[in-house]
């Protein structure tokens, strides 16, 4: 299924001028929507990234294709680019995404003292702004958003319904927070005394830098002291837990249900697979890839791929996994070898006794 049609068709000349590459076909051909390769129709733009899709008969009925290399004998117009998926994403954002419509400030909001609001904002009913809150230009706050005292929301940021940004937190420009996400919840800090748990006040904040996107129901705890930090350009999936004083480096990817314990630092371009867990006070180097469901209990040097719980080099993990289905047979074989060994030992003892008796 394609997107809703554009009000006016987009010519391939316009598209080519924007994404670059090599145009194969008529520059005056047009598209009116974008769609996946298997659902695209005569008026749609799609992209091809895998070799196995190049000979698909479906390509004959598609309005235009973004491809990594020229497809011979394909009747659809093509634009050949280095990275078709990236070109498709840019084109979809530029030409087919609906622009935000600024609504101004609704009457049904709660506003504290000393609030500063930038130009061209869209603040819906049911939003609550605490004292001394700063809202940048072109910010969108959907119903149910709560911004606590002394917090800052940077320009062009977008907060979907029921997002909570607690007191003393700072968001940079173009930050996107999806519904149910909580920024600045108390860090999980307690000290045990005489069998009871005494809460440690969480006095720090949260700093989220520019171009960060957080999925639905993400929890980012405030620091005990200082800041919990999510750095430039990082993208975080749904249901991720980031504990107090964690530092997530630039351009990280954290997939759903990742949990990071307190005071762990991730370097740049780190990728963490779904349901992986990281212990506290670790240092994760740049460009580390952590596979799904891994348990990270030690710091990791840069530029490596790890798997398993506890983690090990990915190649070692694959070898270990290959052995697991054979364990029942290996167990039976060990039992048989133990029985044979016991028989041999018994025979050796009997032979030794026999020789000893003959000598005497």
Q: Point out the residues that are catalytic.
A: 244
b/e sequence 278-307, b meaning 16+ C-beta within 10 Å:
bbeebebbeebbbbeebebeeebeeeeebb
User: What is the bridge-based pairing of β-strands 190-193 and 196-199?
Assistant: antiparallel
Cα 231 vs. chain centroid, distance in angstroms?
13
Extract long-range pairs of 248-251: CB within 8 Å, 24+ residues apart: 249/286
**Nearest residue to 169 via CA among 213, 137, 123, 133:** 133
b/e sequence 159-193, b meaning 16+ C-beta within 10 Å:
bbebbbbbbbbbbbbbbbbbbbbbbbbebebeeee
Cα 266 vs. chain centroid, distance in angstroms?
14
Alpha-carbon gap, residue 350 to 202, rounded angstroms: 74
């Amino acid at each position: 299924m394609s997107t809703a049609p554009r009000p006016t068709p987009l010519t391939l000349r316009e598209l080519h001028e924007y994404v670059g590459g090599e145009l194969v076909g008529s520059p005056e051909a047009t598209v009116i929507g974008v769609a996946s390769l298997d659902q695209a129709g005569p008026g749609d733009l799609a992209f091809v990234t895998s070799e196995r899709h190049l000979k698909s008969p479906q390509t004959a009925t598609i309005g235009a294709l973004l491809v990594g290399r020229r497809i011979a004998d394909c009747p659809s117009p093509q634009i050949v680019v280095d990275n078709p998926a990236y070109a498709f994403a840019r084109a979809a954002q530029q030409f087919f995404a609906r622009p935000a419509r600024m609504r101004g400030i609704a009457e049904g909001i709660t506003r504290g003292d000393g609030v500063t609001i930038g130009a061209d904002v869209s603040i819906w009913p049911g939003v609550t702004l605490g004292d001394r809150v700063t809202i940048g230009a072109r910010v969108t706050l959907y119903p149910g958003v709560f911004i606590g005292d002394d917090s800052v929301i940077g320009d062009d940021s977008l907060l979907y319904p029921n997002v909570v940004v607690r007191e003393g937190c700072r968001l940079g420009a173009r930050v996107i927070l999806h519904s149910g996400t909580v920024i600045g919840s108390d860090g999980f800090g307690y000290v045990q005394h005489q069998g009871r748990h005494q809460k440690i006040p969480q006095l720090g904040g949260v700093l989220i830098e520019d171009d960060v996107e957080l999925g639905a129901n993400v929890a980012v705890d405030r620091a005990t002291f200082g800041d919990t930090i999510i750095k430039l350009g990082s993208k975080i999936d749904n249901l991720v837990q980031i504990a107090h004083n964690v530092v997530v480096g630039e351009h990280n990817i954290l997939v759903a249900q990742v949990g990071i314990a307190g005071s762990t630092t991730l370097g740049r371009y780190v990728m963490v697979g779904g349901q992986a867990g990281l212990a506290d006070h670790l240092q994760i180097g740049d460009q580390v890839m952590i596979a799904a469901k891994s348990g990270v209990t030690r710091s990791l040097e840069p530029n490596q791929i790890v798997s398993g719980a506890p983690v090990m080099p990915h190649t070692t993990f694959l070898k270990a996994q290959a052995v697991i289905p054979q364990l029942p047979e290996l167990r039976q074989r060990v039992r048989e070898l133990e029985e044979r060994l016991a028989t041999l030992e018994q025979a050796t003892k009997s032979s030794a006794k026999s020789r000893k008796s003959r000598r005497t």
